[in-house]
Amino acid sequence: MGPVNDTPISEFLLLGLSEAPELQPLLFGLFLSMYLVTVLGNLLIILAVSSDSRLHTPMYFFLCNLSLDDICFTSTTVPKMLVNIQTHSKAITYAGCITQMYFFILFALSDDFLLTVMAYDRFVAICHPLHYTVIMNPRLCGLLVLVSWIMSVLDSLLQCLMVLRLSFCPNLEIPHFFCELNQMTQLACSDTFLNNIVIYLATGLLAGCPLAGILYSYSKIVSFIRAIPSAQGKYKAFSTCASHLSVVSLFYGAILGVYLSSAATQSSQSSAVASVMYAVVTPMLNPFIYSLRNGDIKRALNRFFGMQVNKGLSS
């Protein structure tokens, strides 16, 4: 049986990105703006896809799920950070911290799985176009998304249960803007060997395997595109997966940057700043990447807003 807390923990302190008072209004305005842009941009993607029957395809079904996940992903961290800045408080309750950690892991991992599923969808669309509708049928699409969410829920639940077994030292300051798993583990006074083993195994399996799947899918895609004789055919095939490839590069590049920066500087504060890239910036940029590089999304939004304007004028 794991050790239990001798003294009940009531709250932690989130130190945020900076403790300088003069920077707090700037941070509040910056993160509020990024959060609003993230929510609005991803909602527009969902609105465009749901309002246009021509976009009711596997690719856009997965895109809607990714947009919904990005909204939830950002909403687990930024609102609490904004509240703390506005109220000049750094406190977060023990239950609130565990809850935030649970949902952060859940949505981060589901983001990873959804990007993998989308890579498989692009692989089938490009390498097996004649069998695309048969392979990527609604049942399989729903099953892939369901499995992604189930795996994410199970891992986040496991990680939180592992943290709940720990007892914590009197110093409950988290040098981050949210309750990050590694930071929480480092605050523990009890033995964290088993926790670290579980973290490394879960990261290796649940992050490494999806990345391997994405790399394998794109290796097959690149091989297929290289075999296309015409330059126009190559461009058309590549354009169908360019947006997804950009999002994957941004997502994994941001995460890799976080771990490289933390390993190089050994600074928790620099790690927190780097985490902004994949926790806040990436979900904000995803809608722009898909809408700017995707004519179908643009046309769907134009049709939707055009219909709304016509309804308003007719009434």
pLDDT tens-digit profile of 3-59? Answer: 444 556 778 999 888 888 899 999 999 999 999 999 999 999 999 889 888 889 999
pLDDT exceeds 80 at position 185: yes
pLDDT tens, residue by residue, 232-249: 888 888 888 888 888 898
pLDDT tens, residue by residue, 115-129: 999 999 999 999 999
pLDDT band per the 50, 70, 90 thresholds, residue 311: low
Query: Positive or negative, the Cα torsion across 115, 79, 304, 286?
Result: negative
Mean pLDDT (the chain, rounded):
87
Q: What percent of the chain has pLDDT over 70?
A: 90
Better-predicted residue by pLDDT, 250 or 153: 153
Long-range contacts of range 17-21, CB-CB < 8 Å, 24 or more positions apart?
17/177, 17/269, 17/272, 17/273, 17/276
pLDDT of 308: 63
What is the C-alpha separation between 1 and 165, in angstroms, rounded? 9
CATH of domain 11-290: 1.20.1070.10
3-state SS of 132-200 is HHHHCCHHHHHHHHHHHHHHHHHHHHHHHHHHHCCCECCCCEECCCCCCHHHHHHCECCCCHHHHHHHH
What is the C-alpha separation between 68 and 108, in angstroms, rounded? 12
pLDDT of 246: 87
Query: Positive or negative, the Cα torsion across 86, 90, 95, 101?
Result: positive
Q: Which amino acid is at 169?
A: C
pLDDT exceeds 90 at position 139: yes
Give the closest residue to 133 by CA, choosing from 64, 62, 57, 66: 57
* 188-194 mean pLDDT: 90
Q: How many residues does the chain have?
A: 315
Strand partners, 91: 13
pLDDT of 290: 82
- Domains of the chain, residue spans: 11-290
pLDDT tens, residue by residue, 55-102: 899 999 999 999 999 999 999 999 999 999 999 999 999 999 999 999
The answer to whether 121 and 241 have CB atoms below 8 angstroms apart is: no
The answer to whether 12 and 92 have CB atoms below 8 angstroms apart is: yes
Predicted model pTM: 0.90
pLDDT exceeds 60 at position 223: yes
pLDDT of 177: 92
* 134-157 mean pLDDT: 96
What is the C-alpha separation between 91 and 288, in angstroms, rounded? 34
